[in-house]
Structure 1
Amino acid sequence: MEKKATARPPALCAGCPHRGIFYTLSKKKKLIVTGDIGCYTLGSAPPLSAMHTCFCMGGSISTGHGASTILKMAGSDQKVVSVIGDSTFFHSGITSLMDAVYNRGSSVTIILDNRITAMTGHQENPGTGYTLMGEPAIEADIPAICKAIGVKEENITILNPLMLQEAEEAIDRDLSKDEPAVIIAKWPCILKSLLIRTKEFDLRPKKCVIDQENAPSASDV
């Protein structure tokens, strides 16, 4: 008898730190969440359904800035939160946040720092402290970058996204402000947790090498 696999829509992994943030955002009914490209784009899917737009890499912050500006001009009290991953922030989010600060924006940016480039294969990024070859590197300091482009130090919060009450209090506090605020939701990808070598975030990558003796030839492929 033929058996068919049960159809399952894509979803965030069990234990994913992004779930905490999206669960918290999903409770805020009068809120627009502008999203970005990464595994966290799945925050738009049920049961969380907590992301309303996804345009391009780095586009969440600029879209959020534009939306919040228009809403404010229209006299609306609807708030906007932009979510972006750590890798995407380094890729093209820094310039978007800089422009939002420069143009006196008021949206809240949540940087989902899961310590890796999870969507495309767990590559290292400038914020992990390692190169793609697993060699130690200078670790880009996200809070310092935000401060350098104009976000006030008192408007930068670092938290564990799995601590739901703390996350909700931080989001509510920043939504009440009329200037740019950044929340850095910092906790490692659940898949990367398998590589933890210390109690904190010194998550040394496993170095991948080619087995030259058993590598397939062109005729085998």
Structure 2
Amino acid sequence: MSLTTQSFCLSPPEPVVNVIVTPWTADVAEFSSVSAFCSFSGSSLSFLWMKGSSEITTNDRIQLNRTDGGSYLTILSVTQYDQGTYTCQVSNPVSSKKDSMTLLVNYGPENTQLSVSPSKEHHEKGSDITLSCSSESRPPAEFTWFLNGDKMPHSDPELKLMKVQTNQSGNYTCRAFNHITKRDQKSQTRSPVHDVAAVYFFSLVT
């Protein structure tokens, strides 16, 4: 009786190489959609997408699709809260590689507010008044000021009224505009403009 023996040599997995994240675009407007592709090579591969330190899972807005040469990440109707760093991590028993991209989301203007210093409805003639306009927006909002509906020659977020006179009484409107999103919102003055506005009224006491 003869015995036959065979030996097997198992090759280890090929190391992970060439992990590259390619965004279709890294700077998008809010409520649009964006995709990124993570390409990689090697054998016995597993992968995951991360946003910051949290693993990304699929839901109604987020899609993950595996192909032979990589993985697609698609985000539908992005919001400002999707902004951040996204990482594709690929690994197997012998190695691990990753690559990242940063997603920037243009949004706003939102929560436009007008503050007044000193804060009161009636001011003495000849006093100094500062009106300040703020808005949440990326890129930063462009500001326009109006007095009783008439545009003022001022575009800074802060409007200083020095030694005010009677003809400066009235409705002051601060309008914030984002030239990227061009969001269409009605102002508090109820005029159909592409912005958010805040209104302040004061009268003078002589």
Larger Rg: 2
Q: What is the TM-score normalised by the length of structure 2?
A: 0.25
* Greater percentage in helix: 1
* Greater percentage in strand: 2
